[in-house]
Structure 1
């Protein structure tokens, strides 16, 4: 497979599409910050989006925040719009990798993937939308493989910590790891915290379209993955977790779906033992539980009707008790926030047969990092891009549509993340 390198016809290593969006602006800052660590001018990059003025403003802001006035003149601007296939094609022809920050991906994602595949650019996104991610795999995997192009979804907080966390736990376990449960806890500072409503929109439309996801999955004709060791029991919709000493719920994001796809790839392509996985999130004490139950019931009810979805989209702050807002968090809130994933794994020591008896060994690992949505996500996305540029020979031999763990199981991505503030450790 021919590797894509920068040439005069492909002048940029990285193009950030949607750079003026809420998340995109922080990806711009992270690229500028990270590239300043290397030799000057070693990587060429550009920002892209619909409005030249907004893109200029984002570069201006990044220049001020990072005290790098040169960003105003050294970073090129590409005008491209999801509604204009020609502009997307022109953008993708100029990039080795497109970092796509334009969501919700169910509405805006596919045209960018299509343009990337047809014009030979690798494509990474930060989607947490299983319907989009799996639809892209179904419709573009063989075409991307033919073109030698990598399409890698969920390269942000959804689902780098979970997907690589399971992989890390497996690699640190001495023997055969058969099952892992993860518990996510989020911390905020005295200012509190919130998430920009783009993520809220994805959740609203994702829940209302759940039946479509089931029919999409049937089209893959997947055989069930073999189970090593006892079947992992699913926990209830709300339970008190002894592991993290707080009330917990199944994690609503795409982590479980992404990890399952990774485990299928690692089982089928690398003959690994599949790891069963359960994803949970801590919600805190009793008052939080009451708020969550109330908000959850309203949310489930309203997503069933178009007028309800419109209400949810219009008033995210009201329906989420302030957790989501149209303004997103302040920089002070982001600086004080952090996340932790605790992974509890079990399996069999070397020489033990997983088909006989109960698991006889346990492992606990942690993935910790800064604020999840706008600090961790840009770090993860940028390190993914640099891994593709520098370690393509350690990735799957053919292009195609991959999850992070499938694409990067044999690379140094976890080491790169460790050096940039997302820490993987064994307890």
Structure 2
């Protein structure tokens, strides 16, 4: 049962902003499913975006997919636009939690964060953009703390499986966990699969602005985290992984930076032992490598120039060999897709001094789930919101800008995910 009470001035537990976008429409369906579950029957929600007509179509579509015609009458619509701060403020005043689905976040995210912090609404996003995530921490952490507002980024496929997966591995390890490597593999059906090009655009502008990210990080003036045990060795840019039995590359998303932020929080706030982390993704066999190398060379060349970036944005399917498309995957493709995170950890048993000698114990865990972008991501985002609504007493004692692991380390988020198809297990 949702614990937070709504009020006439703040009538909605959840508002989905960007509900008519490609990902937003699936978040709408997931919230509708969740409300139908017994404990969440009193959850009040609304959808928001800049076009009332498009939002009505999304509700109509969700009603048809779920067989719930009552959605059209029960779910309110809020018209709000990132270019109109007053409309965002009105939205922020009406919600307990805003689920922000409008990306790329580097262009559209900050006005929504600002409106939420200034108007008392918690903010959740599904960004995989380190520059956005860390700049929000730099710019809004203090104000959010004063307002008692939680701003929690990357609450989707980037980076719930990785961040919560490391915490789960640490919880299951009998001793002191010091390092984890994760290996992502994606399963698709006979029709293959694709990713909507919003993620592709985020990658384009992220790589183009990589120097700004380094400059941003220097402003935090962080001390290096201590290394306990053997230093985790960096793998090559392409290697054959015995762990997943296929060729593998470093994972290019936000997971490493998000996990590191969580580990820093746990060290500084709870004096925990930090866990080193390396993230990798399987790319398959030799034919996949040839495609990846060609696409990678084209990407690296074009992303350096504004004209090249325009080409990459305009023709995502061409330059990514069909991985990214403007239409995204079909529902049939999504139903046949899945993901698996294999996490390999090492550390010291309880009777071994972690300050001496090499790690003497290992653990392997798995995080598995349905299609990652538009099935698992809405599940993770909605369960993160419910965790805020129900378990704020075991979250950090003050508001602020947090990574998922920092915000939810002491909550039952993992158990909530388990009940909704994202499985955590020890091998």
Task: State TM-score, norm by structure 2.
Answer: 0.99
* Counterpart contact for 1:5–1:96, Cα < 8 Å: no
Give the corresponding residue for 2:273: 273
Give the corresponding residue for 1:407: 407
Q: How many residues align?
A: 425
**Could you tell me how far 1:109 is from its partner in structure 2?**
0.1
1:257-406 → structure 2 map (5 Å cutoff): 257-406=257-406
Give the corresponding residue for 1:183: 183
Alpha-carbon distance in structure 1 between the residues aligned to 2:41 and 2:72: 15
RMSD after superposition:
0.9
* Counterpart contact for 2:34–2:40, Cα < 8 Å: no
Give the corresponding residue for 2:110: 110
State the secondary structure of the residue aligned to 1:83.
coil
Alpha-carbon distance in structure 1 between the residues aligned to 2:94 and 2:419: 30
Alpha-carbon distance in structure 2 between the residues aligned to 1:161 and 1:68: 30
Check 1:272–1:39 CA distance in 2 against 1; reply closer, same or farther (3 A cut): closer
* Counterpart contact for 1:127–1:155, Cα < 8 Å: yes
Moved more, 116-125 or 34-43: 34-43
Determine if the alignment matches structure 1 residue 86 to structure 2 residue 86.
yes
Q: Show CA shifts across 1:167-204 (max 9, x none).
A: 00001000000000000000100010000000000000
Q: Show CA shifts across 1:200-230 (max 9, x none).
A: 0000000000000000000000000001001
**Could you tell me how far 1:351 is from its partner in structure 2?**
2.4
Give the corresponding residue for 1:163: 163
Determine if the alignment matches structure 1 residue 6 to structure 2 residue 30.
no
**Could you tell me how far 1:353 is from its partner in structure 2?**
1.2
State the secondary structure of the residue aligned to 2:43.
coil
Q: Show CA shifts across 1:263-296 (max 9, x none).
A: 0001110111000000000001011011101101
Moved more, 330-339 or 36-45: 36-45
**Could you tell me how far 1:7 is from its partner in structure 2?**
1.1
Give the corresponding residue for 1:128: 128
Q: Show CA shifts across 1:297-328 (max 9, x none).
A: 11011100000000000000000000000000
1:25-64 → structure 2 map (5 Å cutoff): 25-38=25-38, 41-64=41-64
Unaligned runs of 5+ in 2: none
Alpha-carbon distance in structure 2 between the residues aligned to 1:328 and 1:230: 42
Give the corresponding residue for 1:242: 242
Q: Show CA shifts across 1:249-273 (max 9, x none).
A: 0000000000000000011101110
State the secondary structure of the residue aligned to 1:178.
strand
Check 1:244–1:235 CA distance in 2 against 1; reply closer, same or farther (3 A cut): same
* Counterpart contact for 2:4–2:13, Cα < 8 Å: no
Alpha-carbon distance in structure 1 between the residues aligned to 2:412 and 2:271: 21
* Counterpart contact for 2:4–2:390, Cα < 8 Å: no
1:218-257 → structure 2 map (5 Å cutoff): 218-257=218-257
* Counterpart contact for 1:248–1:283, Cα < 8 Å: yes
Q: Show CA shifts across 1:330-386 (max 9, x none).
A: 000000000000000000000211111110000000000000000000000000000
Unaligned runs of 5+ in 1: none
